Structure 1
Amino acid sequence: MTSSSNLTLFGEALFDCFPTGENVLGGAPFNVAWHLHALGDSPVFISRVGNDDLGKTILSEMDSWGMNTQAIQIDDQHQTGRVDITIKDDEPSYTFAEDSAWDFIELGESASQVLSGFFYHGTLVARHETSYKTLEKLTENPSLDIFVDVNLRSPWWQKVVVYHWLEQARWVKLNESELYELGFQSADLYQDMTRMHTHFHLDQLIVTRGEKGAIVRDTEGEFHEVAPTQHEQVIDTVGAGDAFTAMYIHGLLADWSIETTLEKAQAFACRVVTQRGAISKNPDFYK
């Protein structure tokens, strides 16, 4: 797969609202799209924001960053999404506002053009019927190469629905606790990964493990592992997984080896945790 592949991302754009009063651009698919644009991959990002100040800020920030905003829908009825973040023992927890604009992504003109190539989505965006149905329609295309980014946020997920998305995927990324929550839990992580990988007939299953690094199981059943680079000052871990995902997708598009992709993805995630929020607005950060 080369970087000339069409690249589409579907999902939430919102604001992460920290206890310090800072509001930071976020939403896993938004973060991944932002990073991929900076890495030179020209993603099309399908989302929906409110006709409000936060929505206008998202559009103007994307514009300033040089991103394509044509597939961002404007919603006059629902507000731009927000997440209240609380941090306890260095671990963030998230409270998502209900009935946000991103819950109502429609099969608009930009979204319904025949998609091809690489398609990324998370599992959270399908929590509401409208966005669920749109995603269902978009992913009907059997020629899409689908990357599913599992993000289990209670109470916004059901196992049967997540399994439905996983059955369509070529690549799946999730963290170790999500692997267990989806029913793949024994005393042996490699066995759990093998069971999930074969159950869904994936090309690659990517499991992130926080400070322990990450593991990938490939089509041959081989495991590839990476440990984090030297421990730098952690400001916050919000968006570390999204940074990892973006660099991993970049590597898939560029046909890097799994080892190279894993190492670069892990190193990039380690850099993102040294700053507040999930993205950087400094182009030099991506060099």
Structure 2
Amino acid sequence: MSRYAFKESCLSASRQSGVILQPGGLVGRPLLFGEVLFDEFMDGSVVLGGAPFNVAWHLRGFGLDPLLISRVGGDVLGDRLLERLRAQQLDTEGIQRDDAHPTGRVRVTLVDDQPLFSILPQQAYDFIDAAHLPPLDSAHSRFSLLYHGSLAVRNTVSAQALAALRDSGLPIFIDINLRPPWWSLGDIEALLAGGRWLKLNHDELAELSELAGQTVNDLLHGARSLCNRFGLQTVIVTRGSQGAVAVTADGMAIIDPVPVDGFTDSVGAGDAFSAVVLVGIQRGWALATALRRAASFAAAVCATRGAIPDQADFYQPFVDSWKR
């Protein structure tokens, strides 16, 4: 019997390993909504980023065909971003242009190898226009799920566009990124109420639930509390260098950390993790399998500068290993 017990019950190791993320998988294209931007580092380097962008980039690398909904400025950075999307063979149908607001930028400072983000206001991705979204009347036949974060609702314009997408009825994967001062508890709770899957880190879980501490058992109880309160199917909690835990309606999974070979920075590690979990949802993987594969890929991304790799062959070893 597992030594990690819920208040409600004690789960066996077999139940831990047998839980499926999405029985039967999903058919269709992943639909992603939110920010695309450039991360500006202290050494002057500039790297493409933004959680939805990062996740879409990884999904394409894994062979999926995601559609990213965002907005960029009618500026040089916007042109550069679109060029990179096309080079990665990512569909640009969902990328709007904005002549009034600049392409998103974030200043990144590394403190003890952890990124601190200074997110600029009034960026193009804050003004995603609901009137220019792809047709949603056939959303269920075209798309498999909707992925979004929490930064997407800091501005009412993009929040309205996201609400229209959420009303399409697609199952929703929420990837929380609590970036002060750009969030409120009320906004986050409204997002969680309509979600199916939730991913957040241990610090964010502490913000959203009453945790007694940061032990594995504390995290499991906190995740279970969110599951029950908001009717979520799965809550995944990443723990940085300590692995991850997850709970579902009928089970749980706990994974150990994966060592990083040649650590560079952890920018985008959570997005890398989320991307692999989305692959697992699409393909009907076991929860524990998805978490292990996600942790392994996130560790590899930590050995690169920024959130996305430059090497075209970066993804193939992971794709090959998943076939075995």
With the length of structure 2 as denominator, give the TM-score of the two structures.
0.85
Look up the match of 1:281: 310
- Check whether the contact 2:260–2:303 (CA below 8 A) recurs between aligned residues: no
- Check whether the contact 1:16–1:84 (CA below 8 A) recurs between aligned residues: yes
Deviations 1:233-268 (A, max 9, x none): 210000000000000101110111112111110000
Q: Does 1:119 align with 2:146?
A: yes
Deviations 1:177-223 (A, max 9, x none): 00111133223222212111111111110000000011110220x22
Q: Which runs of 5+ in 2 are unaligned?
A: 1-23, 317-324
Look up the match of 1:242: 271
- Of 95, 104, 109, 2:127 maps to 104
Look up the match of 1:163: 189
Look up the match of 1:135: 162
* Counterpart AA for 2:150: T
State the number of aligned residues.
Answer: 285
- Check whether the contact 1:112–1:138 (CA below 8 A) recurs between aligned residues: no
- Whole-Å separation in 2 of the counterparts to 1:229 and 1:176: 17
- Whole-Å separation in 1 of the counterparts to 2:239 and 2:68: 27
- Whole-Å separation in 1 of the counterparts to 2:249 and 2:224: 10
Q: Which runs of 5+ in 1 are unaligned?
A: none
- Check whether the contact 2:219–2:237 (CA below 8 A) recurs between aligned residues: no
Look up the match of 1:208: 238
SS in 2 for 1:172: strand
Shift of 1:113: 3.0
- Whole-Å separation in 1 of the counterparts to 2:210 and 2:30: 30
Q: Does 1:63 align with 2:86?
A: yes
Look up the match of 1:25: 48
- Check whether the contact 2:209–2:225 (CA below 8 A) recurs between aligned residues: no
SS in 2 for 1:152: coil
- Whole-Å separation in 2 of the counterparts to 1:231 and 1:50: 36
Q: Does 1:225 align with 2:254?
A: yes
- Of 16, 22, 27, 1:4 maps to 27
- Tell me which stretches of 4 or more aligned residues in structure 1 moved more than 4 Å: none
Q: Does 1:261 align with 2:287?
A: no
- Check whether the contact 2:55–2:272 (CA below 8 A) recurs between aligned residues: yes
SS in 1 for 2:259: coil
- Check whether the contact 2:273–2:295 (CA below 8 A) recurs between aligned residues: yes
Question: Is the alpha carbon distance of 1:215 and 1:126 closer, same or farther for their aligned partners in structure 2, counting shifts above 3 Å?
Answer: same
With the length of structure 1 as denominator, give the TM-score of the two structures.
0.96
Look up the match of 1:93: 116
- Check whether the contact 1:145–1:170 (CA below 8 A) recurs between aligned residues: yes
- Whole-Å separation in 2 of the counterparts to 1:248 and 1:8: 15
Kindly indicate whether structure 1 or structure 2 has the higher relative contact order, using CA contacts under 8 Å at least 6 residues apart.
2
SS in 1 for 2:281: helix
**Greater alpha carbon shift after TM alignment, 113-122 vs 208-217:** 113-122
Shift of 1:6: 2.9
SS in 2 for 1:25: strand
Q: Does 1:174 align with 2:200?
A: yes
Q: Does 1:73 align with 2:90?
A: no
Aligned-residue identity in percent: 40
